[in-house]
Amino acid sequence: MDVPLEIRFHNMDPSDAIEARVRERVEKLNRLYDQLIACRVSIEAPHKQHRKGNLFTVHVDMSVPGSELVVSHGPHHPQQKYRDPDLYTVLNEAFEAAERQLVEFKRKQRGEVKNHRQGGALPGEA
């Protein structure tokens, strides 16, 4: 990466263990796509719920040549919110989504993804 990794903690205390996990996962993203320019990770605990646990959200913002890829991951449905509020689970799911986005971006760059046809028939169709 050309720009150093940025890790931000919002509404929570910084954690060396979480920071180490983020660095490991970003290093994996960098191996997956060697043209990664920058990566910013934001970890947020927006609500302090004593009975149900904290609801974490992880944002991964990746700069690649000519584009920005953004992943925002947190519980979206009520049953997900309270099933497993563990930060490591949310962190892993966010980075898995980031990996999928990078793989898809690489495929598009190589021309492996077919574009949707825009009207008209394909060659050979009548």
Neighbours of 72 (CB within 10 A): 14
For 20-33, how does the pLDDT look when each residue is reduced to its tens digit (9 = 90+)? 999 999 999 999 88
H/E/C letters for each residue in 11-68?
CCCCCHHHHHHHHHHHHHHHHHCCCCCEEEEEEECCCCCCCCCCCCEEEEEEEECCEE
Q: What is the mean pLDDT of the segment spanning 100-123?
A: 73
Question: Taking 60 as the threshold, does the pLDDT of residue 40 lie above it?
Answer: yes
Select the CATH number that applies to the domain covering 6-109 from these four: 3.20.19.10, 3.30.70.3280, 3.30.160.100, 3.30.43.10.
Answer: 3.30.160.100
pLDDT at position 34: 87
Amino acid residing at 62: M
The per-residue pLDDT of the chain, averaged, comes to 81
Q: Kind of pairing, strands 6-10 and 67-73?
A: unpaired
pLDDT at position 111: 82
Question: Taking 90 as the threshold, does the pLDDT of residue 112 lie above it?
Answer: no
Length of the chain: 126
For 44-94, how does the pLDDT look when each residue is reduced to its tens digit (9 = 90+)? 986 665 555 557 889 999 999 889 999 987 765 545 555 556 788 889 999
